[in-house]
Structure 1
Amino acid sequence: MIGSKKHERLAYRLSDIIIRLNNGERLNIDTLTQDYQVCTRTLKRDFQERLAMLDFSDSGPVFYQLSPNRVGYLNLTEIKRFANFASVQDLLPKIDRQFFYDKLNQSIVIKGFDYENIQARTQEFNLINQAIRDCRIITFDYQKVRQQNSENSKKHYHLEPYHLLNKNGIWYVIGRHDAQTRNFCFTQISNLCVTDKTFDCDEQIKAGLINTDSLFFDNHINEIVLQVSAKVAGYFERRDLLPNQELIRKLDNGDLLLACRQVHPREVTPIVQYWLPHIKIISPSTVQEQMEKVLKSYVSM
């Protein structure tokens, strides 16, 4: 398994390469070795394996350039998604290049780089992905991890599947059940069946699901505002460490005011606790108070 920092460097390099190709540049592989401080062999693997599904007019061994009709074809969101997939191929079951290229369609989302191995369940993974594409209802039995030792704890579900999500290394199936959005851990699903029944995919709901970092789909708070100390502000400026993180403003002393929008408090407070004492929840004050109450109870044990 490749470390998360290596994944991040790889995803950044591929994103930058794709952006330059998308802008119409003709890239020289010898120059790129200096730009990215990697060897020629690594860059050849980038182009010949990770980016092989792109439509090149020049495809090496020295120069690479997109076909004129493909220049400007991808937007920044698609480039980021594409680069993330190209950098974490080991996350996915074995798939052919066309399937990999088709991942620009948003049926699968990856957030984070460490992962569980699901190679043994490739067929079920592919069945769910195909059901998402075909808008077909799936049925399955589901047992939560904490209930594995309980008898008769499995429940049967009918689900309208919207997308597959890898969040912090765990695969989830996200969909609609009884008019509510639910998430199911993929490895806890059994007796999967793709039915002949179809459903109308709500594109507005799907876009909302893909664009959120949240795994909770009810009891959301519209906005949680946090103040981050200047001592650790750089970490939060470098990349989003909080779900649905947005910068409100940077204070004169270097502190950050951040907002997490449409999130459940249970997704925010564990991260705040990790960064104590350098971060505080400003509003709602009840979330900060509840977190302090839990911490006091823990300390007094």
Structure 2
Amino acid sequence: MSTSVSRHDRLASRLAFIISQLFRGETVYLSELSEELNVSTRTLRRDFNERLQYLDLEYHQGGYRLAASQRPFRTDKDILRFAAITHVTSLFPALDRKLLTVLLDPTIDSPFIVYHTPPEQRPSLFGGFYILTQAIVKRRLLQFAHQGKNITNVAPYKLIYYHGHWYLAADIAEHIHVFDVMALQDVVMTARGFRYREDLNQRLCEEAFIQALPHYQYIQSLFKL
């Protein structure tokens, strides 16, 4: 009897662990679970195929995760990714799940304040900013008016916030161009795509490039003299 109870306890603990991982938004892998839970991959495969069959799971890159329809929440990984994009990560000695617990616990008065200089003019929710965002995501060419000129065949790469301004970093005819977003008018996303360059994307993420944003177009014009 005790052996049977013990076996069921182990099964319950194993399933509870797997389910908790899935509902945290993690992708779980049989080989890793096998090592962590000290059971065979055959047993784990049976767990997924029989005992967890009513969970809406999908097989993704060699592991199991909740289907997209079951993931309306954000995970710790999502939050850490957002922190990296907004360059908050570099402000802390280590931004890990332990610190996230302190930051996100509504019962704790946060010990931190991180202040960013607000933009001189906030972009409109449904204006050019949204179109620029969609064009970057979909990798579509843009056209817009800038300082009285019509600019076409613009391959957008990044929207970068720096010192109170949003900047569009883009490629035009194999050359990097930078535009103050608030100076753009009549922004249109075309139906035409463009060849995405990862090397260019990496260059736009460099700290030296970002710090040069306010003066980039002027610096570039000097080389044309």
Which structure's residues are more often strand, by fraction?
1
Q: Which structure has the larger Rg over C-alpha atoms?
A: 2
Query: What range is the shorter-chain TM-score in?
Result: 0.3 to 0.5
TM-score calculated relative to the size of structure 1: 0.35
